[in-house]
Structure 1
Amino acid sequence: MSLDQREFRNALGRFATGVCVITANPEGEAPIGMTVNSFGAVSLDPPLVLWSIQKDSECFPLFEKATQYGVNILSEDQQALSNQYAKKGQHDLVEGTFRQGSSGVAVLKDVMTSFECDIESRIDGGDHVILLGRVLEMTTHPAERNPLVFYAGKYRELK
């Protein structure tokens, strides 16, 4: 069976996802952030999560060097933050918008939830690499907010 890549991508876009900024501070580099919607839960015991990065991403070499990453789940009022870290060449974290988590990884302030993770393994996934992470720390924002949702190539609201 042969799949048309554009048609396949559009079909995958019919699955609604949340939006996250993945952060890292690889040794010798400035802390970085990258917007993704490829985040997923894997296991409660041990606590494992994953996300994937395209091998030709400009951030790929930095995440290859990283031993940890942060997952920062965005709320619907943080669309500008999502857009900021989705832009090519704009991945350095802005001073004052992040903190060093207790595990040492950079995490964004005022997000719905952040997970601090050690990278357990990197798994080849075709044109992507899947980064499996063990959650070391978790911070949740106490206020009730709606998540930033992405569906069919656009931001959406929960109703």
Structure 2
Amino acid sequence: MIDSRAFRDALGCYPTGVTIVSTYAGGVALGMTVNSFASVSLEPPLVLWSIERTTHRYDLLRNAKDYAINILAHDQSAMAELCAHEANLAACGASWSGDVAPLIDGAVARLLCRQHAVHSGGDHDIIIGEVIAFDTLRPVESLLFSRGSYGKAG
């Protein structure tokens, strides 16, 4: 049997990018720090991320028809840390624009997505989104997460 803490530590040896997946609910901008983000397809443009079924933000984000994936810059680690625990983007110090989903200011890139498919994956759901618009804002290093700490690429 695999020890889940040891397995998590082993996975932490692989640096990942850091994103905040964001959506509107009841007129409030909400989000969650996510590092399980990857590209899937160029034609059509598809990306994926996953969410643990026991998280308190599961229903909100799992059922969001439209959402944004905000790829964070290296100087946004404080926001990433806050948003890992707090759903309200304003409480996390974020500013944003966008009518369909919150597009976080200062991100390296922002992908506006529409939910395309959801697949079960153990204790997580894998959410595939079709990218309907995107922009790249800042030519700076992205925020990385490895071995429990934030850093930057490059």
| Alignment TM-score, normalising by the size of structure 2 | 0.92
Letter in 2 for 1:158: A
Q: Which amino acid aligns with 1:23?
A: S
Equivalent pairs, count: 152
| Residue type at the aligned position of 2:80 | S
Unaligned residue ranges in structure 1 (runs of 5+): none
Partner of residue 153, structure 1: 148
Amino acid at match of 2:21: I
Please tell me the root mean square deviation across aligned C-alpha atoms, in Å.
Answer: 1.6
8 Å CA contact retained: 2:96, 2:104: yes
Question: 3-state DSSP class of the match of 1:31?
Answer: strand
Distance 1:41 1:35 in 2: 17
Choose from 68, 71, 85 the match for 2:69. 71
Note the residue ranges of structure 2 that are not aligned, 5 or more in a row. Answer: none
Pick one of 130, 137, 145 that aligns with 1:134.
130
Q: Which residue of 1 aligns with 2:5?
A: 6
Give the partner amino acid of 1:151: S
CA distance in 2, matches of 1:17, 1:47: 21
Task: Give the equivalent residue in structure 1 for 2:45.
Answer: 47
Distance 2:15 2:94 in 1: 31
TM-aligned CA deviation for residue 96 of structure 1: 7.2
- Displaced runs of 4 or more, over 4 A: none
- Aligned amino acid, residue 3 of structure 1: I
* Alpha-carbon shift at residue 158 of structure 1 (Å): 3.4
Q: What amino acid is the match of 2:113? A: C
